[in-house]
Structure 1
Amino acid sequence: MLKQQPASAPIRVLVVDDSSFMRNAITRHIQRDTHFRVIDTATNGREAVAKAEQLKPDVITMDVEMPEMNGIDALRQILAKSNIPVIMVSSQTEAGAKTTIQALQLGAMDFIPKAGGFEQLHEKLHAVVGATRARLRPQVVKPSLSAPRRAMPMRARIAKPQLVVIGSSTGGPRALCQVLEVLPKNFPAPIVIAQHMPPQFTAAMAKWLSDVCAIKVVEAADDMALQPGVAYVGPGGMQFRLVNGKAKIAAAQGESLYKPSVDVLADSAAAAYGGNVLAIMLTGMGNDGAKGFNKLKEGGAHVMAQDQATSSVWGMPRAVAESGCADEVLPVGEIGKRIKAMFGLA
């Protein structure tokens, strides 16, 4: 079990990497913030499994490629014995991205790329530890936000939306899979997705989702026409908009800290589709998408948010729920079924 700490105690981190340079670099960066303390390091997966069991850290950063036992096998063993959250540290290559997506499938909470990912590390460590501790203690949440709301009656104007917009971040890949795998190949509308990820990783995620789901999932490209039965994932490091029934992919111009941004995508959906939209916010830290989803709601869109109990991090869906624009707050396992019902596919 995750070791309970007083509120003032530093978050205890185990750093796992076979490179002494990377171990030292990650340790130095983490300990710049006094809210964290690196309690030990490990040089391979076998050491990581043993030290995780012995030291019971609050969170682990895990390299992927290591001798004796790689990060994927170590992740499997750690999660089989504990609920310690793990953040993968990945190379930003095609192979590294594919392995990272596999780790997220298995239960890693999040990841950072080795190149340029350290600036988000403290925020991600805080988020995954906070979310894990929240799940271990009794939830004291407003019933209207923590429990699924009664299914809303379908109004004629939104009976069959022309578009589905999905936003997600931490924990998003697994949540997206749980939602999309329920949908049939002949799903009658396009689906557009803004998942917070760096370049390379969104392409690997789209390929994995397409392999396991009946619908086709692709990484969106500029000027790609949106087709029913296809889910389009915004490419990492870029902004994803919708214009005249096509995907518009462009370099960020300071619109948001997030690339792709849910707010940017939702704003463009509101302009292009008005209220004929089903908007869904899945797990993720922060509040990206809350403003865009409110704009969609004002135009007549139907809005769903994932509930706290099934979210890896209840940040983005919480922001949507607490803003008052969510028509329904549902467990992730019910969202795909609800989409089918709205489209008359149940």
Structure 2
Amino acid sequence: MVLLPKKKLLIVDDSAFMRKLIGDFFKDSNVIEVVGIARNGKDAIQKIKALKPDVVTLDVEMPEMNGLDALKRIMAETPVAVIMLSSTTQRGTEITLQAMAYGAVDFVAKPSGTISLDLHKIKDELVAKVENAAHVTISKLNKETTKLPRTTPKLLDRKSVASNLVSTKRVSNWSKTTKKMVLIGTSTGGPRALQEVITKLPKNMQAPVLIVQHMPAGFTKSLAERLNQLAEIEVKEAENGDIIRNGQAYIAPGGYHMKIQKVGSTYCIVLDNEEAPRAGHRPSVDVLFEDNSHYNDFDKIAVIMTGMGSDGSKGLVELKKNGHVVAIAESADTCIVYGMPKAAVETKAVNEIVDLENIAKAIIQYLP
């Protein structure tokens, strides 16, 4: 068996204790080799130029040059896959969301503040995200989503992919007069992808939008507030009992599965923190889709975008068994990580594969 060369990691943190803890996580790794450390943003920029790492872990809060300022410089001068390490304070969550917009691949929340003695709690998550980031195509991170080349949505019945995909015939009897609901699932790279899609949806759209983005508690609230400032539709972190209305988007809070319940002639949000995580995720896209499959008062437009793993694919199969459903998957060309959309496509339940900048248009074409 040929062993592939290890991917190079640079650890950036102003705490020597934290640098050692993070470094120890990768001592036995067959995939990642720690090639250096940096004490602040300025030091990081120099070390990246000298060591040419594949991945950087970057602390958000550092003296001299903080993580956000360093990230801007890094992405402008020497683009590399960056995983942010953030505190869960309100300021920490807001800065982390900005970092995602500036091109960071992903983030990990420190369990207990800037110096986390219990960092071992997030060891598996950090290692998995670093290993995943090492294989990300850097050009996708360093590109503003609004500047991506405009192309037409790719229908799945194209000859090049027809053998692996379902026919799009089921869309032909789609009615524009019935009630609609939009369901979106995403993970790694999702905050930027959501910004690209949600900001293009019209204020008067005749459907609500339910969103699952894999994130811990606190970060989903900051994401909702950020999107609400940028979008025409209203965006909020979902709360138990929220009445679901057209032209509003509801983001499942970290730590809770999002379901719905019929009350009279309306539907409301049900949040569940008792059902176990699915494949490590709560909220889970599968849970959102499966729960939604029990209701047939409305047609569904299900969208799966960039993310690690396969969350959403099992739920999509259930959705398709019940009622009218159009499934849209983000294309490999624009995904930061082509995991979740790939798994969805492999179910043969997807109707359209669409580049990120055209997903909003693809959704709108199915609405009243």
The answer, yes or no, to whether TM exceeds 0.5 is yes
User: How far did 1:287 drift?
Assistant: 0.2
* Match of residue 193, structure 1, among 201, 211, 216: 211
Matched with 1:331 is 355
Aligned pairs for 1:148-167 within 5 A:
154-157=172-175, 162-167=180-185
Cα distance in 2 for partners of 1:265, 1:323 equals 17
Does the Cα contact within 8 Å between 1:154 and 1:342 map onto a contact in 2? no
Aligned pairs for 1:101-120 within 5 A:
101-115=97-111, 116-120=121-125
Cα distance in 2 for partners of 1:146, 1:113 equals 38
* Match of residue 126, structure 1, among 119, 128, 131: 131
Matched with 1:60 is 56
Q: Does 1:95 find its partner at 2:100? A: no
Does the Cα contact within 8 Å between 1:14 and 1:60 map onto a contact in 2? yes
Gaps of 5+ in 2: 112-120, 142-159
Does the Cα contact within 8 Å between 2:32 and 2:131 map onto a contact in 1? no
Does the Cα contact within 8 Å between 2:58 and 2:84 map onto a contact in 1? yes
Does the Cα contact within 8 Å between 2:276 and 2:282 map onto a contact in 1? no
Aligned length: 333
Matched with 2:287 is 264
CA shift digits 1:107-143 (9 cap, x unpaired): 101000111433211211222222327979xxxxx74
Aligned pairs for 1:240-255 within 5 A:
240-244=258-262, 245-255=267-277
The AA in structure 1 aligned to 2:345 is A
Does the Cα contact within 8 Å between 1:275 and 1:301 map onto a contact in 2? no
**1:167–1:7 distance in 2 versus 1, CA, 3 Å:** farther
**1:144–1:43 distance in 2 versus 1, CA, 3 Å:** farther
Runs of 4+ in structure 1 over 3 Å off: 133-136, 142-147, 149-154, 156-161
Cα distance in 2 for partners of 1:52, 1:32 equals 23
* Match of residue 319, structure 2, among 291, 296, 299: 296
Matched with 1:139 is none
Does the Cα contact within 8 Å between 1:145 and 1:307 map onto a contact in 2? no
Matched with 1:3 is none
Does the Cα contact within 8 Å between 1:235 and 1:260 map onto a contact in 2? yes
Does the Cα contact within 8 Å between 1:128 and 1:312 map onto a contact in 2? no
Cα distance in 1 for partners of 2:346, 2:215 equals 25
Cα distance in 2 for partners of 1:134, 1:107 equals 10
The AA in structure 1 aligned to 2:22 is I
Does the Cα contact within 8 Å between 1:15 and 1:27 map onto a contact in 2? yes
Cα distance in 1 for partners of 2:255, 2:28 equals 27
**Local SS of the residue matching 1:265:** helix
**1:51–1:152 distance in 2 versus 1, CA, 3 Å:** farther
Cα distance in 1 for partners of 2:228, 2:61 equals 26
Cα distance in 2 for partners of 1:58, 1:7 equals 17
Does the Cα contact within 8 Å between 1:222 and 1:249 map onto a contact in 2? yes
Matched with 1:177 is 195
**Local SS of the residue matching 1:223:** coil
The AA in structure 2 aligned to 1:279 is A
Q: Percent identity?
A: 36
**Local SS of the residue matching 1:321:** helix
User: How far did 1:240 drift?
Assistant: 1.1
Cα distance in 1 for partners of 2:59, 2:169 equals 43
Does the Cα contact within 8 Å between 2:180 and 2:367 map onto a contact in 1? no
User: How far did 1:160 drift?
Assistant: 5.2
Cα distance in 1 for partners of 2:325, 2:244 equals 19
The AA in structure 2 aligned to 1:281 is I
User: How far did 1:275 drift?
Assistant: 6.6
**Local SS of the residue matching 1:272:** coil
The AA in structure 1 aligned to 2:294 is A
CA shift digits 1:235-291 (9 cap, x unpaired): 001111112111111214325120100000111111124771000001000001100
The AA in structure 1 aligned to 2:135 is G
> Which piece of structure 1 moves more, 324-333 or 23-32?
23-32
CA shift digits 1:26-81 (9 cap, x unpaired): 11112232321110010000011111111110100000111111111111111112
* Match of residue 79, structure 1, among 75, 78, 96: 75
> Which piece of structure 1 moves more, 317-326 or 293-302?
293-302
**Local SS of the residue matching 2:136:** helix
The AA in structure 2 aligned to 1:318 is K
Q: Does 1:277 find its partner at 2:300? A: yes
Does the Cα contact within 8 Å between 2:38 and 2:44 map onto a contact in 1? yes
**1:150–1:156 distance in 2 versus 1, CA, 3 Å:** closer
Cα distance in 2 for partners of 1:56, 1:41 equals 12
Gaps of 5+ in 1: 1-5, 137-141
Matched with 1:229 is 247
> Which piece of structure 1 moves more, 331-340 or 251-260?
251-260
**1:154–1:212 distance in 2 versus 1, CA, 3 Å:** farther
The AA in structure 2 aligned to 1:247 is I
* Match of residue 33, structure 2, among 31, 37, 42: 37
User: How far did 1:8 drift?
Assistant: 1.1
Cα distance in 2 for partners of 1:340, 1:27 equals 47
